[in-house]
Amino acid sequence: MVAAFQEFHSPHYEFVAALVIIRTMAKPPLSMKPTGWFQVAWSDEIAVGDVHTMTYFGQEMVAWRAESGELTVMNAYCEHLGAHLGFGGSVVGEVLQCPFHGWQWSQQGRNVRIPYQDRPNRGRRIRTYPVVERNESVYIWHDVAGRAPYFDAPDIFAGFNDGSSADDYYPQQRLYRERLELHPQYVLENGVDFAHFKYVHKTPIVPVFTRHDFAAPVSFVDFTITFEGDDNQKIEDIDSRVEAVNGGLGIAVTKSWGMIDNRTISAITPVDESTSDVRFMVYIGRTPGTDPVRAETKAREFGHEVIRQFEQDVEIWRHQRYSDPPALANAEHEGFTAIRQWAKQFYPDGIGGSAADVYAASQKGGTA
């Protein structure tokens, strides 16, 4: 166990320094290199000309924005003599220049110029990653086999086909927690865990799920829920719901209606074999015809409350042990079985959705 100070500042949301106790938890028996779209930054963190350093999936990377505004994410080391492009590297027009000898690399990771030689080195290439900027976020496609993306990262507005846009909502509020010892699958499984709402978030009654659709890499979960009233009310009388879209294991977006209009994005990205970065975003709907200052204040307060509730989940996830097979109540069996079976497609060799699968593969010489 170690203690460390953590501080985070953002124009959207701010945390003050706090003492963080870091405990070494049991490593989950799940691969930390799943396939899919994963958030590695927010778009406004990388301005034109910036070179942004980061580590994900055990790989040091850089993200850089060319003069055209095009964003590139690539592995961090120059193929010449191994200089780290994030420390002193510079954007020159549409290329990234190494600080060591001035070699220039394109957005495709190819060497395009050696300043003291007539021709570039066409035989060497730095690995780049497919990038999508959506939801004010930077997503990269990760696949250990190098396959191209085969599903889209969900859009917090277009994904619900209701004609809404960011103009209908107050600015995004954010939470960022670095290197927590949790796995992305914990967060996705939370989406089918109806019972936790009453005991973690203190809802008056247990929600009822109305949709589980795990037929494709992008899955859908809908449920009826309320945060008001008491435990004497009936679920049939509740007219407020949440719709969720899961884009693989890395991104989940939700839309709530029948209550305060809000949308959320959770994005969990593995850093190494034990830890993940956690990002959570909230949009609160604008309310036309109300006092604008008071309405925005109320929106920020409600956004803080949504973030607080997510932090309640985070506190459990970061101390959780992956249970397999889990001891499920009868009503839990369908949802957990479906989501764990669905999750297997995102792991190397199709394993990782259960500890038993990982063990069986290891006995045969496979990897997780």
What confidence category does residue 3 fall into, taking pLDDT thresholds of 50, 70 and 90?
Answer: very low
The residue-averaged pLDDT of 98-112 equals 98
Q: Based on the fold, state whether residues 168 and 296 are members of the same structural domain.
A: yes
pLDDT higher than 80, residue 23: no
> Structural domain of residue 87, as residue ranges?
31-151
* Residue 156, pLDDT score: 97
Q: Is the pLDDT of residue 1 over 70?
A: no
What pLDDT sits at residue 257? 76
What number of residues does the chain have? 368
Question: Which of 39, 38, 42, 36 minimizes the C-alpha distance to 65?
Answer: 42
Q: Is 352 domain-assigned?
A: no
CA-closest candidate to residue 159, choices 74, 252, 223, 27: 252
- Cα separation, 110 vs 159, in Å, equals 35
Q: Residue 238 has what pLDDT?
A: 55
Same structural domain, 94 and 187: no
Cis amide leading into 325 (omega within 30): yes
The residue assigned the tokens 């009233």 is 229
> 123 and 236 in one domain?
no
Average pLDDT of 50-65?
Answer: 98
The enclosing domain of 123 has a CATH number of: 2.102.10.10
**Would you say residue 82 lies in a domain?**
yes
Q: Is residue 316 domain-resident? A: yes
Is 98 a domain residue? yes
* Tokens, residue 109: 């990771």
- In a shared domain, residues 167 and 241: yes
The answer on 178 and 35 residing in a single domain is no
CB 105 within 8 A of CB 95: yes
Burial call 35-70: b when 16+ CB within 10 Å, e when fewer = bbbbbbbbeeebeeeebbebebbebebbbbbbeeee
So what's the pLDDT on residue 112? Answer: 98
Contact partners, residue 181, CB within 8 Å, separation at least 6:
23, 24, 25, 274, 275, 318
Q: What is the pLDDT of residues 68-85, one digit of tens each?
A: 999 999 999 999 999 999
Antiparallel, parallel or unpaired: β 128-129 and 71-75:
antiparallel
Domain co-membership, 173 together with 322: yes
Write out pLDDT tens, residues 314-334.
999 999 999 988 999 998 899
Mark whether 126 and 252 lie in a shared domain.
Answer: no
Do 38 and 127 lie in a common domain? yes
Q: How many CB atoms lie within 10 A of CB 260?
A: 17
193 and 72 in a common domain: no
Q: What is the mean pLDDT of residues 133-139?
A: 98
Mean pLDDT of 38-56: 98
Q: Do both 49 and 84 map to the same domain?
A: yes
Over the stretch 242-284, which tens digit does the pLDDT of each residue have? 889 999 999 999 998 777 889 999 999 999 999 999 999 999 9
- CATH number of the domain encompassing residue 221: 3.90.380.10
248 and 207 both lie in a single domain: yes
What are the tens digits of pLDDT across the range 155-174? 999 999 999 999 999 999 99
Mean pLDDT score across all residues of the chain: 86
pLDDT at 362: 58
What is the per-residue pLDDT for 63? 98
Question: In total, how many domains does the chain have?
Answer: 2
Instruction: Give percent of the chain above pLDDT 90.
Output: 68
Whole-Å CA distances, 95 to 113, 228, 247, 367: 10, 55, 31, 37
Q: Residue 331: what pLDDT?
A: 87
Could you tell me if residue 8 is inside a domain? no
Q: Give the pLDDT band (50/70/90) at residue 196.
A: confident
Cα–Cα distances in angstroms (integers) from residue 107 to residues 19, 31, 48, 63, 303, in the given order:
40, 29, 14, 10, 37
Q: Residue 303 pLDDT > 80, yes or no?
A: yes
What is the residue whose two structure tokens read 């309320």? Answer: 226
Is 188 a residue whose pLDDT tops 60? Answer: yes
Of 151, 175, 199, the one marking the end of a domain is 151
Residue 212 confidence class, pLDDT cut points 50, 70, 90: confident
pLDDT of residue 367: 46
Assign 3-class secondary structure to the chain. CEEEEEEECCCCCCEEEEEEEECCCCCCCCCCCCCEEEEEEEHHHCCCCCEEEEEECCEEEEEEECCCCCEEEEECECCCCCCECCCCCEEECCEEECCCCCCEECCCCEEEECCCCCCCCCCCECCEECEEEECCEEEEEECCCCCCCCCCCCCCCHHHCCCCCHHHECCCEEEEEEEECCCHHHHHHHCCCCCHHHHHCCCCCCCEEEEEECCCCEEEEEEECCCCCCCCCCHHHCCCEEEEEEECCCEEEEEEECCCCEEEEEEEEECCCCCEEEEEEEEEECCCCCCHHHHHHHHHHHHHHHHHHHHHHHHHHCCCCCCCCCCCCHHHHHHHHHHHHHHHHHCHHHCCCCHHHHHHHHHCCCCC
Q: Using alpha carbons, select from 174, 325, 179 the residue that is nearest to residue 264.
A: 174
CB 329 within 8 A of CB 195: yes
For residue 285, what pLDDT band results from cuts at 50, 70 and 90?
Answer: very high
Report pLDDT for 287: 86
Does the pLDDT at position 348 exceed 80?
yes
Is residue 342, in this structure, part of any structural domain at all? no
pLDDT of residue 75: 98
Compare 106 and 206 and report the one with higher pLDDT.
106
Task: Between 149 and 226, name the one with better pLDDT.
Answer: 149
Tokens of 152: 């889209």
Which pLDDT score, from 0 to 100, does residue 82 have?
98
Whether 367 is in a domain gets the answer no
pLDDT for 283 equals 97
Q: Give the pLDDT score at 191.
A: 85
Domain-located, residue 354: no
The answer on 121 and 61 residing in a single domain is yes
